[in-house]
Amino acid sequence: MSKRKVLMIASECTPFAKTGGLADIVGTLPEQLNNLGMECRVMMPLYRQIKEQYIKQMEFMRWTTLKMGWRSVYSGVFRMEYKGITYYFIDNEFYFNSPEIYTEYSYDIERFSFFQRACLETLGEPIDFMPDIIHCHDWQAGMIPCLIDAHYRPYGYLTDVKTVFTIHNLKYQGIHGVEQVADLMDLPEKYFNDYGILKDGLPNFMKAGIVYSDQVTTVSPSYAKEIFMPYYGEGLDGVLRTFSYKVSGILNGIDHDDWNPQIDGCLAKNYGVENYREGKKANKAALQEAMDLERNTDIPMITMVTRLVDQKGLDLILRVIDELLMENCQVLILGTGDPDYENSLREVENRHHANMRSLVMYSNELGRQLYAAGDIFLMPSLFEPCGLSQMIAMRYGNVPLVRETGGLRDTVHAYNPETKEGNGFSFPNINAHDMLFLLKDAMKLYQESPEDWDILVHHGMEEDFSWETSAKKYLELYEALYQ
């Protein structure tokens, strides 16, 4: 295969703008693809925080006026090299001068309608780059394959460009009114039907990506199968079953250099597989001191680093957490999200101040310390397209206890004391007491079978969750588009 040119289009990307795992993927995958012989670049919005921090490092390339219905909208593009990757930033202060990446939902539809149309207008001469493959991520880029079909191919442009659409979270779909989307996207009437972009009578950006792209991927093999079922399909399961021939799942990876307890500067003591117990004790003692918890490194510590939303199984936890905290254990939960969950966790801490801490905040440093200090990492998600936290936890010797769904099913395998196989604990049903009883079993194994626990931790710390493996599968997917 000749050196293919790939353009990733996404609403966020580390280190420039991040709210979740999407940013990590778009920030890491291009480097791995380039290492495999591709030429991969990234295009994203020029948000205010990016402009404030990086504008002096950018090259202004050109500006134009984009027609969006009755509007004539300025569209600029800047270019920047970062760690060997070329990034393009779409500039428009009216749309992207907000202090937040995402704003009010209907306004976000307009913002990302502009973004997608502006991305396509830059291709070729304006940025001196014409991709062979446009890789679109989530609903904020989901209309791009449809726009190519409507605005470019009928006139002989972008006819050889292939498109890949990756679903990171099917729950968020980009839905708005017919008149508004027709106006913003300048789409002919033939696209506004059930065979096109409409779902339940409304334009749906996620559906458009599924229908019009050449290949659809999700971020784990199990999630790719689950979304064909009504429970996980978020109303699009029928559409996905129709296009199942082009749907596949490729597991996300993590940056092994970044998430490495041997060199992580946020830890009280660095450690690896061979001295993990020594490292764990030092980090647990430091966290207990900082959190004013009982100083006892033999107590099993259960940690969570998560968004506080229903998807993450917070209702299961709140249902049994009082029973759990009657056990000889310590529980620390770090994250922000739904105010009701934030307040509920604060109330739990007030009731169980001796052994529970509710850390309602975002802190990368503290998150790393929880990964390093914890013994059991709790992740009882109702659904989980991929999940990165369970992979990170294993790297730090923090044994994951998860619900069997999506990427959690693909990465966490229940430990069997007889065969000495497995790297964590898992339960199948959305049942709070199933989770509680498994937690009690895990704590019993931790306290009574140190040899088994060592094997369990070693298995997790030695897993290969690097992006290199995933990038090779994306490379195979790209190659198949031209066969």
**Tens-level pLDDT at each residue, the chain (483 residues):** 468 999 999 999 999 998 878 898 999 999 999 999 999 999 999 999 999 999 999 999 999 999 888 889 999 999 999 999 999 999 999 999 988 899 988 899 999 999 999 999 999 888 999 999 999 999 999 999 999 999 999 999 999 999 999 999 898 999 999 999 999 999 999 999 999 999 999 999 999 999 999 999 999 999 999 999 999 999 999 999 999 999 999 999 998 988 999 999 999 999 999 999 999 999 999 999 999 999 999 999 999 999 999 999 999 999 999 999 999 999 999 999 999 999 999 999 999 999 999 999 989 999 999 999 999 999 999 999 999 999 999 999 999 999 999 999 999 999 999 999 999 999 999 999 999 999 999 999 999 999 999 999 999 999 999 988 899 999 999 999 988
For residues 14 and 108, state if they share a domain: yes
For residues 373 and 427, state if they share a domain: yes
For residues 295 and 231, state if they share a domain: no
Count other Cβ atoms within 10 Å, centred on residue 102: 15
Task: Determine phi and psi for 241, rounding to 5 degrees.
Answer: -65, -40
Whether residue 102 lies inside any domain: the answer is yes
For residues 58 and 167, state if they share a domain: yes
Whether residue 60 lies inside any domain: the answer is yes
Domains in the chain: how many in total? 2
What's the pTM value of the predicted model, to 2 decimals? 0.89
For residues 177 and 308, state if they share a domain: no
For residues 91 and 75, state if they share a domain: yes
For residues 196 and 289, state if they share a domain: no
Query: From CA 378, how far away is CA 387, in angstroms rounded?
Result: 12
Residues whose CB falls within 8 Å of the CB of residue 274, separated by 6 or more in sequence, listed in order: none
Domain span at 375: 276-461
For residues 318 and 287, state if they share a domain: yes
Whether residue 55 lies inside any domain: the answer is yes
314-324 helix and 432-448 helix, angle to the nearest 10 degrees: 50
For residues 351 and 396, state if they share a domain: yes
The alpha helices in 36-127, defined as continuous H runs, are 48-54, 93-96, 105-122
Whether residue 263 lies inside any domain: the answer is no
For residues 176 and 207, state if they share a domain: yes
For residues 180 and 305, state if they share a domain: no
Whether residue 261 lies inside any domain: the answer is no
H/E run at residue 165: strand 162-167
CATH code, domain carrying 402: 3.40.50.2000
For residues 228 and 356, state if they share a domain: no
Whether residue 427 lies inside any domain: the answer is yes
Whether residue 269 lies inside any domain: the answer is no
